[in-house]
Amino acid sequence: MDIYFLSLVALSIAGMIEARCSTPGLRPEYEPADRAFRWLGRSAFAMWLGLLGFGFWQFAWWQPLAGLVGSLAANALVLQYGVRPYWPGVSMGLALLGLGFASKVLFDAF
């Protein structure tokens, strides 16, 4: 599987979880952890948007389109199970994984 596709899916799920966990009970209680959760989720969403634009500029049209559809499908699967208390940890882990994959994609391209 292409690392570009994996990074898009991981970043999308991380950003979606951060956006869905708006109630205080679903966010980390420790203030620095909550700040890191918010920062990583929003960075993941920004990088997801940037990678989509980069993909349409650098790759064939079907690769970013497949990443967009795959991201939407993965978000639908995650939302199907409902909000869970472990979502912030999963979101931060996926954000770090996705940002690492995205940096590899960008370093390989330039």
**Domain extents in the chain:** 3-109
Q: Which residue has the higher pLDDT, 25 or 11?
A: 11
Statement: the pTM of the whole predicted model exceeds 0.85: yes
Residue that wins the pLDDT comparison between 29 and 8: 8
Q: Region 2-7: what's the mean pLDDT?
A: 95
Write down the pLDDT at residue 76: 95
- Please determine, for residue 20, whether its predicted confidence score (pLDDT) is greater than 90: no
What is the rounded distance in angstroms from the CA atom of residue 46 to the CA atom of residue 32?
A: 21
Residue 84 has what pLDDT? Answer: 85
Residue 23, pLDDT > 80, answer no
CA 42 from chain centre, in angstroms, equals: 9
Helix 3-20 crosses helix 62-80 at what angle (to 10 degrees)?
Answer: 40
Distance CA 81, CA 67 (A): 22
Residues 33-52, mean pLDDT to the nearest whole number: 95
Q: How far apart are CA 100 and CA 14, in angstroms?
A: 13
- 8 Å CB contact between 11 and 51: yes
- Please check whether residue 63 is in contact with residue 4, taking contact to mean a CB–CB distance below 8 angstroms: yes
pLDDT tens per residue across span 90-99: 999 999 999 9
